[in-house]
Amino acid sequence: MDIEELLKWADDRVLASTGKHLESLQKAILEGIWQHQNYEEIAATNHRTYDHVKREAWKLWKVLSETLGEDVKKSNVISVLETQILSNNFYPTFEDRMQIVGTLNGNINICGENKIASAAADSPESQGRSPTIDLQEAPELIDYCEDDRSSELAQLGEWVSEGTRLISIYGLSGIGKSAIAVNLVTEISDKFDCVIWRSLSHSPTLPNLKVELKQFFSTSQATLLPRAIDYFRAYRCLVVLDDLEKIFKSGQLAGQYLPGYEDYGKFFKQIATSSSSCLILLGWEKPRDIATLEGEKRSARSLQLKGLAETAVEIFRERGLKDEESWSELISLYRGHPCWLKIVAATILELFNGSVARFLAEKDSNIFIGDLEPLLEAHLERLSDLELKASNWLAGLGQAVDVARSPSSADLSKSQLWQAIQSLGRRGLVEKVQLGDRAMFQLNPVFQQYIQSK
Ligand SMILES: Nc1ncnc2c1ncn2[C@@H]1O[C@H](COP(=O)(O)OP(=O)(O)O)[C@@H](O)[C@H]1O
Ligand SMILES: [Mg+2]
């Protein structure tokens, strides 16, 4: 699609609905936004003042919103227009669309944006069709405690039913992101036309990932569409991208794309703002740009996965640990982190014949690190200088701090501390504790112990 086509289509629609053509400056604004210009640049290119362009843009969003029946603004105008053009022109009419896919598939498979609004009636489930599923890259679930994640699962399921297009699940490695996503996919896959799980562990570039997705979509859906994003728009696709941290920078604040991978951000935004599909991202860090999309209805949501609660005892029961009365102390020391608990359970079995009480009584530090070291180190290696300074300072204090308090260390200003704490929070390394109406922040105690011991 080119800008001429987009302008003509928008102008025709506005003419049909208001009896008036778009103003030439309004067309110039659309063209500028298409070229990723901001209002200042559009004003300069068209020899107008910034205020004039802003006023005209405001009128344009209003007329387009009324004409297209969607909330149109600068941030989404191009994707809204592209989606509407695609669903109105590419497939001539709704009936034709049903026919195109129906004939090729041998059964009726409705495609198009309308699906979310009428998801219940149109879902593959209600039509007795089963989705095409590729979960080859999803991990197998071993000794998983169902009950423990039921509220998070219910929350995620609700977001999917509401039509949320981008869901980010983030948290420490081994906390259970892949496990909960496998469960979620199992529960919801029948609401989708196709389901695919891909790991980004080999850091694929976006063009390569798109080729792979398009290949899968085109074999699972009979209609051939030009681009991967077209499938996200025309069908209900459920896509899980695991190990997202592999496309983020190390040594910088959390959630920033590696050089050459910034286009992922645009792709995620395209999906979040205009698609009928659901993309689930799993990773160690919350992508920085997701926060800005979260305000938009149905666009994006995120869940920080914390440790398991009491039912983590199943992990100990299964391994045959002893002294059940001490288990809850052990779970709380390791913050209910399932992978850490499994590692510590192995140590207790090897060194103390499974006696949790003796392990707790004999350990010489608050928290025994042992085999957790490589897991913890992998997180610390990714920190920026600022975050390292802040975590050393927090580890030294050994208690929760109010961010209003100035750091004693001279090479960390207050605003740097705020930035670092926010970023450490996005990595799950710093926890927020509520003290009355004040928020206090502390290092995850296991990391605190590890940093102190280094
Ligand atoms: N609810 C749970 N109950 C028991 N074990 C769990 C649970 N969730 C995750 N685990 C276990 O924790 C380990 C790490 O889970 P995983 O999903 O791979 O973590 P992540 O994807 O966050 O790195 C796995 O061995 C997994 O079986
Ligand atoms: Mg995982």
- Domains of the chain, residue spans: 3-90, 119-304, 310-363, 375-453
The ligand that comes nearest to the alpha carbon of residue 171 is: 1
Instruction: Tell me the residue ranges of DSSP E strands in 232-277.
Output: 237-242
Cβ atoms of 256 and 250 closer than 8 Å: no
Burial class (CB in 10 A: 0-12, 13-18, 19+), 358: middle
| 327 C-alpha to ligand 2 centroid (Å) | 26
Closest Cα to atom 23 of ligand 1 = 174
> Is any ligand 1 atom within 6 A of the Cβ of residue 174?
yes
Cβ atoms of 288 and 254 closer than 8 Å: yes
**Range 119-304: architecture per CATH:** 3-Layer(aba) Sandwich (3.40)
| 173 C-alpha to ligand 1 centroid (Å) | 9
| 220 C-alpha to ligand 2 centroid (Å) | 26
CA distance 192 to 425: 33
| 339 C-alpha to ligand 1 centroid (Å) | 6
For residues 174-211, b (16+ Cβ closer than 10 Å) or e, as one string?
Answer: bbbbbbbbbbbbeebbebbbbbbbbbbeeebebeebbe
> Is any ligand 1 atom within 6 A of the Cβ of residue 142?
yes
Q: What is the pLDDT along the chain (454 residues), one digit of tens a residue?
A: 678 888 888 888 888 778 788 888 989 999 998 888 888 898 888 888 888 888 889 889 888 988 888 888 888 888 888 877 776 644 333 333 222 232 223 322 222 233 333 333 445 554 556 789 999 999 987 777 766 788 999 999 999 999 999 999 999 999 999 999 999 999 999 999 999 999 999 999 999 999 999 999 998 887 889 899 999 999 999 999 999 999 999 999 999 999 999 999 999 999 999 889 999 999 999 998 888 888 776 799 999 999 998 778 988 998 999 999 999 999 999 999 999 999 999 999 999 999 999 999 998 888 999 999 999 999 999 999 999 999 998 998 888 988 887 666 657 888 899 999 999 999 999 999 988 888 899 999 999 999 998 8
DSSP codes, 98-121: HHHHHHHHSS----STHHHHTHHH
> Is any ligand 1 atom within 6 A of the Cβ of residue 339?
yes
Q: Which helix (H) or strand (E) holds 440?
A: strand 438-443
Distances, alpha carbon 100 to alpha carbons 93, 139, 215, in Å: 10, 36, 20
> Is any ligand 1 atom within 6 A of the Cβ of residue 169?
no
Cβ atoms of 430 and 443 closer than 8 Å: yes
Instruction: Tell me the residue ranges of DSSP E strands in 4-111.
Output: none
The ligand that comes nearest to the alpha carbon of residue 201 is: 2
- Residue 103, pLDDT score: 26
**Range 375-453: architecture per CATH:** Orthogonal Bundle (1.10)
| 176 C-alpha to ligand 1 centroid (Å) | 4
Q: Which atom of ligand 1 is nearest the CA belonging to 141?
A: 27
- Residue 128, pLDDT score: 57
- Residue 258, pLDDT score: 96
